[in-house]
Structure formats: C-alpha cells, structure tokens
Structure 1
C-alpha cells in the first residue's frame, strides 16, 4: 500500500491540494473520503471537482445520496454521501453498484456505511482536522 500525505494549512491552499490529489487519481475511479463530521470532505470534493473542470455548483448529496457533475471533457463525476444510510441495501436501491461499475469517477463520502459493496480497487482519502482551518489529507491506495 502506498501512502501520501498533504498538509492543507488553510482554505486558500485547497486548490493546490486538489491539484495534487487530481494527479493521484490516475487509474482509479472509486475514491473514498473518510473523516469526522466537519473535517471538510465536501469542501475538499468541491475543490477537487473544480480542478477537474466542473463548472456547476458542487454540493453535498446528503438527502439525494448522489449528485452528478460534468468535467471539462463532459464526462460524469458521481458524488455520493452515505451518511444517512442505515443499511447498504439502501445504496443498492439507488443503483450504487452500477455507478461503481460505470468506469466514471465516483467520489464517496462515508464509505464505511457501504463497505461490503465497495470494490477492492479504490483510493482512500482521509481528512484529519489539525487546526481551525487546517487539515491533513492522507491518500492510500
């Protein structure tokens, strides 16, 4: 397993960190985001989507479970938030497995809620709060 750590000292550093993560995505379509509530998972996903050329508003799919965005190359990005799920069957009910098998980028918040459904080939990004506006981002694959 390979691990890379990126320090994010402030919100202003998000675009640079997102560009680094964007480079690490090569060859991966399932990207899992872990971190405590308020660690900045959605905020980081917004920055990552911007670095991939997404023009539309990126927001948490907390209630819809999945949002779809388009990259600069007009390819879909699927953004999931499984925080409110009680059982992985609920993710199956929205077709999560089909999204995961699509070959398109799937950004997953709270992946531990659906661990049994996730393919083994995935990238794990963990955000840890290190200060009022600073974070540590760890990439494992």
Structure 2
C-alpha cells in the first residue's frame, strides 16, 4: 500500500501518477471516499495524465462516461451513487466493461462491492481539511 498526503489540489498529479504506476495488469480502480472527497477530481487528473483530451465529469445520472486516449483504448468512468439495487449493474452489462481490458474507474464501489473483480485496485480518500487529503492506494 502507498499513502500520499497532499495539501492542495495542485499536488493531485503525484497521486494520479502513483495510481497509474501501481496499476500493473489491473483494469478496475475503486475510488472510496465520502461526498466531496475529490473522487471525480482525481479521476479527471488520471484521465488527463493518460493523454485524454476529453472533458471529465461525474456520470452521476448517466452512470457511465467514456473517454478515449491516444493508445486507442477506452477509459470507462462509473458513478454508482444512484444505484439502488445491484441488479441495475447487471442490467447495463457491467461485465462487458469490467472484463473488456479497458480501464474502469469506479466511484461509489460500495454499491456493487460483490461485482468488483478480485484484483480491483482501491484508492481510499480521507478528507483532512478543506484542501488536505490523504490517499491510500492498494
């Protein structure tokens, strides 16, 4: 596990780089933290560092956003906050995304915990104060 403490949003590049570096063959990353912890902001930095020029926004209502990167691969960004029943994830075919070989970045993974692949990377975000955050990556 790697722990990174930042004191401003400008330091998020260090966290994004660490997530990318630690991915290895894993393709699903679960972002865990309360409302307003900075999950989407970190995902925006990760997507940008992977070379995408797409606009990254939280897919709160759409559930899934797709971004493209220069390698031709896709990045899928999920927000399961509004999922009330795990069957909803089955309905949109979560398996096709999680096992596609493309990177899947998941907000609110607690809503679909049992569906996450065994090798899912976890990024835990703790809000220390208005600007400071602690990130635990494993």
TM-score class normalised by the smaller sequence? over 0.9
For 2:12 and 2:113, the matched residues in 1 are separated by 28
Report SS of the residue matched to 1:138.
strand
Report SS of the residue matched to 1:87.
coil
For 1:80 and 1:119, the matched residues in 2 are separated by 15
1:117 alignment counterpart: 115
**For residues 1-141 of structure 1, what are the structure 2 equivalents within 5 Å?**
3-140=1-138
For 1:127 and 1:118, the matched residues in 2 are separated by 19
The alignment's TM-score, normalised by the length of structure 2, stands at 0.96
- CA deviations over 1:62-104 (Å, ceiling 9, x no partner): 0000000011212100000000000111011111111111011
- CA deviations over 1:28-82 (Å, ceiling 9, x no partner): 1010000011100000000111111110100100000000001121210000000
CA RMSD of aligned residues (A): 0.9
For 2:17 and 2:116, the matched residues in 1 are separated by 25
Report SS of the residue matched to 1:61.
coil
Point out where structure 1 has 5 or more consecutive residues left out of the alignment: none
The alignment's TM-score, normalised by the length of structure 1, stands at 0.94
For 1:16 and 1:116, the matched residues in 2 are separated by 30
For 1:103 and 1:113, the matched residues in 2 are separated by 22
Number of residues of Structure 1 aligned to a counterpart in Structure 2: 138
Report SS of the residue matched to 2:113.
helix
Runs of 4+ in 1 over 6 A off after TM superposition: none
